[in-house]
């Protein structure tokens, strides 16, 4: 009998424990849900109430506590007055001010100094007319402000904002937001309407002649002074030497001379052009020199891309503990298109940890095979010695042209120890010097 009672008691206890676990689980879930709601409200309130608003709320609570605790009517009146002020400030947050706001950038790329603008279009397809609201548009490090007028049903607001383009770089624009705030400054509600768009301000470039200096433009490649037994560019005939390829025996000449004669060729290579921009701050007297150097290097690189040449645009890499390796000694910019190259040049700046120019040239010589022509672009602060040292690190047979930039300086062209050095004060100087060099060549 006792055994039977024990079997009937255990299920009842298990059932009670199960119900208790369900109740506790639901209670915990409810508490967590309530905590989530409270946390959400706290985040919302924290994003709306300003520091002045929090001080006002704290003052109201303290005044009411002291007033009711000590029976001071003055503090009670102050506390409720501050509470009413907070409640009145909350009324200013009602409404959105618009239903849609779109931010567009008609021209995502401009040249430094050109006109650029962003367009904002706000619309209200609803039934209610919304009152004025403040519209803010961050542009770079500044915030442009406008007052969005009241929009009736079906009304729209269309305005264009001028974007400053006085310096090369990438200007972030947006996100566009509307702001509702009370006159006292207790509450501030922001609504974000758009994403951030980037305006690329390209360096100024100039159209220059085709880069024919130092190599012949043909389909197969560029002939060099190195002779070889097998290539395209015919050079001369010579007597047959055991080991020569019999395919290149010139039978007519062999019949006339009675001795086997073979063709001799000039070795050709694909024309690979390199533009090297020095980022070492000590190479430039001021920012004006560096900006002119960027524009000069960009002009050469853009022309090479337009000519569909194999081009590498190299800038100084960063040294690690004062040591430049083949990987860190240089950094290549994209040259798949002119816009990609100029986009990358928007963010190029002098670097205190930049590798010195000769070490950059050495890294480029090791990492870029087949060079035939190199432009070394730098400033005037360090003179010609680093340019000569950099040119000496390039492989033999590579023609090097150095460009020293000095804004409004005198245009010069000279040869120093076999290195052609152009001194330019304006971009137009670079164009005339390259054209003169091409005509001489």
Digitized pLDDT (tens) for each residue of the chain, 441 residues in all: 444 444 444 455 555 555 555 555 555 555 445 444 444 444 545 567 878 878 888 888 888 888 888 888 888 888 888 888 888 877 776 665 556 788 888 899 999 999 999 888 877 766 665 556 778 888 888 888 777 777 677 677 788 888 989 999 999 998 888 777 777 778 777 778 888 899 999 999 998 877 654 433 333 344 444 444 444 444 577 787 887 777 777 788 888 888 888 877 655 555 679 999 999 999 999 999 999 999 999 999 999 998 888 899 999 988 765 444 445 678 999 999 999 999 999 999 999 989 999 999 999 988 888 888 899 999 999 889 999 999 999 988 888 999 999 999 899 988 888 889 999 999 999 988 888 775 554
pLDDT value of residue 132: 63
Q: What is the dihedral of CA 364, 366, 370, 373, to 10 degrees?
A: 30
Distances (CA, A) of 390 to 285, 321, 364, 365, 395: 20, 21, 10, 10, 11
Judge whether 129 and 149 are in contact, CB under 8 Å.
no
pLDDT value of residue 66: 85
CA–CA gap between residue 330 and residue 319 (Å, rounded): 9
Q: Among all chains, which residue has been given the structure tokens 């709320």? A: 57
pLDDT value of residue 74: 86
pLDDT value of residue 186: 80
Is-cis flag, bond preceding 116, omega within 30? no
pLDDT value of residue 223: 45
Distances (CA, A) of 378 to 326, 362, 412: 21, 16, 15
Question: Does 100-202 carry CATH code 2.60.40.10?
Answer: yes
In a 3-state reduction of DSSP, which class is residue 367? helix
Q: Residue 277: beta bridge partners?
A: 315, 377
Q: What pairing do the DSSP bridges indicate for beta strands 222-228 and 261-269? A: antiparallel
Judge whether 288 and 350 are in contact, CB under 8 Å.
no
**This model's pTM is above 0.75:** no
Smallest Cα–Cα separation from 379: which of 291, 305, 255, 440?
291
Strands (E), 55-141: 100-104, 109-111, 117-124, 133-139
N-term to C-term CA, the chain: 120
CA–CA gap between residue 151 and residue 125 (Å, rounded): 9
Residue 99, C-beta contacts closer than 8 angstroms, at least 6 positions apart? 123, 124, 125, 126
Smallest Cα–Cα separation from 114: which of 177, 200, 184?
200
Helices (H), 321-400: 338-345, 357-367, 385-392
| Token pair listed for 254 | 């062999």
CA–CA gap between residue 103 and residue 55 (Å, rounded): 36
Residue spans of the domains in the chain: they are: 1-34, 49-91, 100-202, 224-267, 272-440
CATH architecture of 272-440: 3-Layer(aba) Sandwich (3.40)
Judge whether 416 and 385 are in contact, CB under 8 Å.
no
Q: What is the b/e burial string over 278-301, where b = at least 16 CB atoms within 10 angstroms of the residue's CB? A: bbbeebbeeeebbbbbbbbbbbbb
pLDDT value of residue 224: 45
Residue 290, C-beta contacts closer than 8 angstroms, at least 6 positions apart? 284, 350, 379, 405
Q: What pairing do the DSSP bridges indicate for beta strands 117-124 and 109-111? A: unpaired
Are the folds of 100-202 and 272-440 the same? no
pLDDT value of residue 315: 94
């Amino acid at each position: 009998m006792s055994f039977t009672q024990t079997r009937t008691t255990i299920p009842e206890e298990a059932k009670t424990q199960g119900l208790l676990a369900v109740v506790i689980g639901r209670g915990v879930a409810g508490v967590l849900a309530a905590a989530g709601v409270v946390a959400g409200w706290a985040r919302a309130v924290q994003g709306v109430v300003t520091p002045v608003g929090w001080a006002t709320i704290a003052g109201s609570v303290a005044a009411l506590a002291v007033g009711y605790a000590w029976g001071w009517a003055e503090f009670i009146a102050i506390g409720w007055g501050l509470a009413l002020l907070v409640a009145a400030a909350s009324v200013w947050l009602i409404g959105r001010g618009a239903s849609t706001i779109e931010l567009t950038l008609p021209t995502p790329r401009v040249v430094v100094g050109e006109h650029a603008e962003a367009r904002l279009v706000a619309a209200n397809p609803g039934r209610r007319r919304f009152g004025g609201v403040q519209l803010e548009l961050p542009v770079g490090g500044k915030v442009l402000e406008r007052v969005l007028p009241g929009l009736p049903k079906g009304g729209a607001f269309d305005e264009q904002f001028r974007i400053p383009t006085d310096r090369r770089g990438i200007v972030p624009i947006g996100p566009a937001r509307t702001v509702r705030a009370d006159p006292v400054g207790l509450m501030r509600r922001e609504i974000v309407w758009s994403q951030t768009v980037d305006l690329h301000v390209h360096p100024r470039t100039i159209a220059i002649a085709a880069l024919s200096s130092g190599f012949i433009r043909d389909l197969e490649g560029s002939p060099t002074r190195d002779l070889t037994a097998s290539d395209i560019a015919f050079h001369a005939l010579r007597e047959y030497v055991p080991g020569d390829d019999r395919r290149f025996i010139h039978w007519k000449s062999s019949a006339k001379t009675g001795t086997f004669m073979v063709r001799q060729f000039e070795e050709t290579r694909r024309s690979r052009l390199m533009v090297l921009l020095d980022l070492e701050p000590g190479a430039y007297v001021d920012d004006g020199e560096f900006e002119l150097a960027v524009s000069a290097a960009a002009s050469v690189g853009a022309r090479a891309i337009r000519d569909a040449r194999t081009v590498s645009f190299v800038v100084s890499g960063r040294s690690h503990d004062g040591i430049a390796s083949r990987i860190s000694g240089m950094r290549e910019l994209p040259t798949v298109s002119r816009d990609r190259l100029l986009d990358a040049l928007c963010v190029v700046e002098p670097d205190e940890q930049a590798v010195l120019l000769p070490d950059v040239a050495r890294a480029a010589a090791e990492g870029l095979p087949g060079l035939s022509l190199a432009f070394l672009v730098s400033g005037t602060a360090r003179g010609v010695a680093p340019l000569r040292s950099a040119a000496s690190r390039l492989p033999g047979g590579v023609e090097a042209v150095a460009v020293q930039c000095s804004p409004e300086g005198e245009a010069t062209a000279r040869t120093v120890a076999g290195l052609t050095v152009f001194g330019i004060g304006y971009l137009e100087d670079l164009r005339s010097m390259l054209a003169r060099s091409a005509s001489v060549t």
